[in-house]
Structure 1
């Protein structure tokens, strides 16, 4: 099981609940509320990883490397006693939570030091309870939530107290130390005190790029001796890492450098622990609670069988070889083909829409004020049906009434002529068909075709010259681009995988949206989830003003 499979299991549980919900709604009071509570639990599920370390260990740099970003502010200024959490968001922002009595404040991420550092907010004079950082990072999207605790060993005593008080709320602890000054007495005390269930602590020794291989081995052996001497049991897993190496490798798309940084091993083990922990502590418990509800609802017998089959499949599979999906799709995202974080619009549709709009701005004025332009429009039979309505959406009623009488009059004259044709001639429907505007005679169709062709050519040039570029295109235009790549198998293969990724991501956004609404947790809906219904349809069919009814794909 990997992170995506774990999430799909939650979606399947939600689908089972959703199918049985009508029976609960028709049953006694209270049954529906029980269903809604389970929807809410599924919607809120996430894995809280507390990141702890002494000041100047490279803790924030390591979190940047784990999330594949450089946006968390790094510096030499100690933190205050403010807890800073990192969760998924469609865009970057920070929400400063003051607790009761004051509304939250939204700020840019660059302003964060003014609220969480000793320099900007000495001894937390601003009264900040929590700083919630929202980042468009894939590990966060898939269920991780990082908690950056105040540094240990700070001159501000409240910092250490805040960290120790928060740890029991975390699912796991990542203690960050460094090769420059391994494990302090305070760090050992934290591990020995056991604020978490044994086995939930991980130790990252940062900055391994600053020492030789021999020095690295000696220091790691010394840390193991320290842990044994302090009777820290079970001994936490130790990972030798370099946040700086990882960030540089990500920036250079250097797979070998990324591997040498030690981050892949740390991330793979964190993910493996999270999946096993959540599978046993969350999914199993959810299955049991849903089974109890369904068993009390006789009409839900098919859903009960479906649930039991899902439960067997989840808990009879081998758990020893969970793939490192987080390291593959999360922090190393920059090593994968480049594309926007989420599909917002088709690049071809956007260009066509823009150029058609620009053309119609001048066209509507011309046909309203220029007799020759009106005569030409009438001779063409007007615009095609589709673009007639695109024109109508932009034109004023007066402009339409000035421009279109000649079109209607010419059509009326043509129909009268058709009425005089002999019965033994061609069918009257053919005569009428000749009066209707053809797509190849529509001025806007011509503009659209040229814009579409230019946009496709531009994308093709980028795809062929940049082996990491994957464009955002709707399925109608995806087929156009793919048809032109028949002699470029590698680029076509990359395009197919990229499009499949976009479709999967949008499907997951739709399912998350539905789950959060079912659980009455709309406040948790991200921007892309809120727009998933429209984005999904536009990815499938293109923008309605470009690929609407009757449009032929050239």
Structure 2
């Protein structure tokens, strides 16, 4: 029999390191698991969207099921044991604050779940209520203690506390259960009924009366529901080192006889000292309490033994889906041509992606899935260890991509129709081009790695166009599309930390029109439209059409005057603009007079929107943002 009291000496603190950083467990393994899970989800999402574009509903549905599996990933870690073993105290020590009620009498009477949340929140679920009661965290004792809720008379199923605690962030639900073996039989029953919900447990005993017959019977029951049990001996600060060693040997032998496990790893802990260490930021006391070793063992387990098998199975299934689709010829030339023909005939496809681009996306995703699968099996689960797959050249020919170079420009005949607007036709055109770009880009950003990589490399758009894009994006699409950009921002900030003397480090993180692809696209669209409009009004028919229009705003009037060369045309444009402003002023005054005289029925349409047309003429269209350098040249 091997006893491991876990008194290993941790790695030393490097010179210059902050010793208080050692008062928290190393969560890098949990972070690596999360990165691998999200990387896997990203590839599954790409495959799902591509299969949808290819009309492969079965494969799309299978990918959706795998995404659900990943999304529901949570791990229920329960604190189990006899009453008065310090289970609640140990949970308080792990989260670093006195949250759960503790005392000398049996306290916990209901299931308490601690989970991650951005802000503190208590939700109490009752057996006789559909919706939970939302309460301040300070009210917890009134629902989960024998004093506040004797024998669980309030019929509390679970009291769920959300906390911004890093240990809980990685999908862990930390559960405190009523102690078994007390005179309050309902508490024991509550805990036994909860056992099937547990994925793993911390079985807590203590140095005072360790491993009673009640605990051994309870341990036997626990073994029927879970394989992974962490054996914790609490209150070690109450005995000497020699007494502790004798107690650990006794407990290890009792557990071995009851469970057949060998070797047995036991974690001696003082929850009282552990909580004090975290509260005071005492790294030495944190280690001496035994809490550091326990927490790191938990982090290692949650990111290794349990999660590697889970992620590996999901990745393997995803590869099987793609193998089945390949066998069925989904990505063959004939199948892709047939799908393209179907989309063209229907003219109703909601996905702006051609089958060839979808097939290329699947090919790249398969490479990454295979790399992820191999990495998970070998214990390499960080995103940095996943080999980069160069984007397919077909991604550059995606018809959904709208760039400054290929933005469609209006024919001369369209300008005559554009002049019928009651605003500025140039502003109207630019707004339309922006809308088309955002409609395509937000789809690409939520489905294609190529677009996400470009968006991250450019650090997004300027502030105005960032918010315009967000206005047409769903929360889901934005979350998918902006994740890589956030990673890139974090990476560049770390570069600034590494080289604080570098000039303009922060300035390069900020956007303006000179680095915004939307501003560049619209600038080119604006300049091209102005040139076409100038040619249009150089003809007699075009000038007649412009004469009866509202004209353009002052900004675009200035651009027109800089473009036309004939003095006669310049005078025509200025005269037309002056006349329209005079008419606007008259219409606004007439509107005000009829409004004040309660003769609103006499107001005509020109009078009703004269103020709006005047503002457009002065300031341009409401949704047009034109900050580029040419502002100073007009």
Give ranges in structure 1 of 5+ residues lacking alignment.
320-512, 519-528
Supply the distance in 2 between the matched residues of 1:66 and 1:515 (Cα, whole angstroms): 36
CA distance in 1, matches of 2:165, 2:78: 17
Report matched runs for 1:94-109 at 5 Å.
94-99=122-127, 101-109=129-137
Say yes or no: does 1:15 pair with 2:48.
no
Does the Cα contact within 8 Å between 1:83 and 1:148 map onto a contact in 2? yes
**Shift of the alpha carbon at 1:201?**
1.0
Corresponding residue number in structure 1 for 2:63: 35
Does 1 or 2 have the higher relative contact order (CA < 8 Å, sep 6+)?
A: 1
Q: 1:275 aligns with which of 295, 303, 306?
A: 303
- 1:154 to 2:166 alignment: no
Instruction: Choose which of 195, 211, 214 in structure 1 pairs with 2:242.
Output: 214
Residues 72 and 109 in structure 1, CA contact (< 8 A), matched pair in contact too: no
Q: Please tell me whether Structure 1 or Structure 2 has the larger radius of gyration of its CA atoms.
A: 2
* CA apart distance, 1:83: 1.4
Q: 1-side partners of 2:272 and 2:305: how far apart?
A: 30
Q: For residue 185 of structure 1, what is the aligned residue in structure 2?
A: 213
Once residues 165 and 31 of structure 1 are traced to their aligned partners in structure 2, the CA distance between those partners, rounded to angstroms, is 39
Deviations 1:186-233 (A, max 9, x none): 111122234356641111111111111111111112212322443543
Say if 1:85 and 1:130, in contact at 8 Å, map to a contact too: yes
In structure 1, the partner of 2:420 is: none
Aligned residue-pair number: 340
For residue 79 of structure 2, give the secondary structure of its aligned residue in structure 1: strand
* Residue of structure 1 equivalent to 2:368: 306
Distance in 2 (CA, whole Å) between partners of 1:153 and 1:515 is 51
Matches for 1:439-450 after TM superposition, within 5 Å: none
| 8 A contact 1:94–1:112 mirrored in 2 | yes
Do residues 70 (structure 1) and 101 (structure 2) align?
Answer: no
Report deviation, 1:104. Answer: 0.8
Output aligned runs, 1:452-467, within 5 Å: none
Contact 1:14–1:515, Cα closer than 8 Å, also in 2: no
- Check conservation: 2:32, 2:303, Cα contact below 8 A: no
Q: State yes or no: 1:128 paired with 2:156.
A: yes
Deviation at 1:110, TM superposition (A): 1.4
Native 8 Å contact 2:101 2:107 kept in 1: no
Stretch moving more, 143-152 or 292-301: 292-301
Q: TM-score, normalised on structure 2?
A: 0.49
- Verify the 8 A CA contact 1:167 1:195 in the aligned structure 2: no
Q: Following the alignment from structure 1 to structure 2, what is the Cα–Cα distance between the partners of residues 150 and 235?
A: 29
SS of residue in 2 equivalent to 1:129: strand
CA-based RMSD of the aligned residues comes to 3.2
Deviation, structure 1 residue 234: 4.5
Counterpart of 1:248 in structure 2 is 276
Contact 1:48 1:144 in 2 (8 A): yes
Cα gap change, 1:542/1:164 in structure 2, threshold over 3 Å: closer, same or farther?
farther
Q: Could you tell me how far apart the structure 2 residues matched to 1:132 and 1:182 are? A: 30
Q: CA deviation at 1:109?
A: 1.5
Whole-angstrom CA distance in 2 between matches of 1:274 and 1:256: 25
C-alpha distance 41-33 of structure 1, shift in aligned 2 (>3 A): same
1: CA distance between counterparts of 2:86 and 2:112?
A: 16
Change (3 A) 1:318 1:136: closer
1:461-540 mapped onto 2 (5 Å cutoff):
none
1:174 deviates by 0.5
Matched, 1:227 2:255: yes
Distance 1:314 1:232 in 2: 31
CA offsets 1:322-362 (integer angstroms, 9 cap, x no match): xxxxxxxxxxxxxxxxxxxxxxxxxxxxxxxxxxxxxxxxx
Structure 2 unmatched ranges of 5 or more: 1-27, 326-330, 332-358, 382-474, 494-505, 513-626, 629-634
Counterparts of 1:18 and 1:227, CA distance in 2: 46
- From the superposition, tell whether residues 281 and 155 of structure 1 become closer, same or farther in structure 2 (CA, over 3 Å): farther
Counterpart in 1 of 2:52? 25
Q: Deviations over 1:397-454 (max 9, x none)?
A: xxxxxxxxxxxxxxxxxxxxxxxxxxxxxxxxxxxxxxxxxxxxxxxxxxxxxxxxxx
| TM-aligned CA distance change 1:51 to 1:165, over 3 Å | same
Q: Is the 8 A contact 2:200 2:226 kept in 1?
A: no
With the length of structure 1 as denominator, give the TM-score of the two structures: 0.56
